[in-house]
Structure 1
Amino acid sequence: MGKPHHKLEVWRRSLKIVTKIYKITAQYPADEKFGLVSQMRRAAVSIPSNIAEGAARNSKKEFINFLHIAQGSTSELETQILISENLDFVSQIQVDPLFKELEEISRMIIGLQKSLRSSK
């Protein structure tokens, strides 16, 4: 299916989010290790993982379905970051760039879906 996933800018950018989330959540309270930390890390990892898995599939329809999952994980992670801010685990200064990057990744996923739907 088109480019290999490692050449997709949306995949590369979503990988960077994973690293950022791992670094930020390493500072969370220990009692959140199996709660919010685990959920945030899984949601973050899910984004590039689903992009990669979809790109490896043999049909556009399957790729689009995996992009839907990646998009859902983006929304899930945004919500978890907001919860983290509400619990004072992260500051507004940390949250703003994450939200900005996740919004851009979300737009890129939507753009890729549209491109796949319109291509022959």
Structure 2
Amino acid sequence: MAPPSKLAVSTSSVVRLVKEEASYHKELEQQQARIQQLENSTSDENAEYQLKQERQALEETKNVLPALSQKIKAAVAKLEDELEANKEAAPAEEVTKAKEAVASAKAAIRESA
């Protein structure tokens, strides 16, 4: 079996990064919900410590997003370069997947901005 082309590798990288960013956004929402739940419940004697831990985890997740956004932008730029260089030589299926990956990455960048 032939190794994957540079275009396929770049496409996979962009797709993976977009999924990773979506995962972090989902985690962010879950953490915010847990914080809200902890703030509303007063019965737990350990709630203050848990609240502190959840807020710290929330901040750490927020700190990951800007760097991840930069990685996505760099990966998209690389993929666009690969697309331009291999437009005629690459199989149509790979080109289509690459264009879809670029579109989804740009949409993710717009959403996070």
TM range, smaller chain = 0.3 to 0.5
TM-score (norm 2): 0.47
Larger RCO (CA within 8 A; separation ≥ 6): 2
- Greater Rg by CA: 2
TM-score (norm 1): 0.44
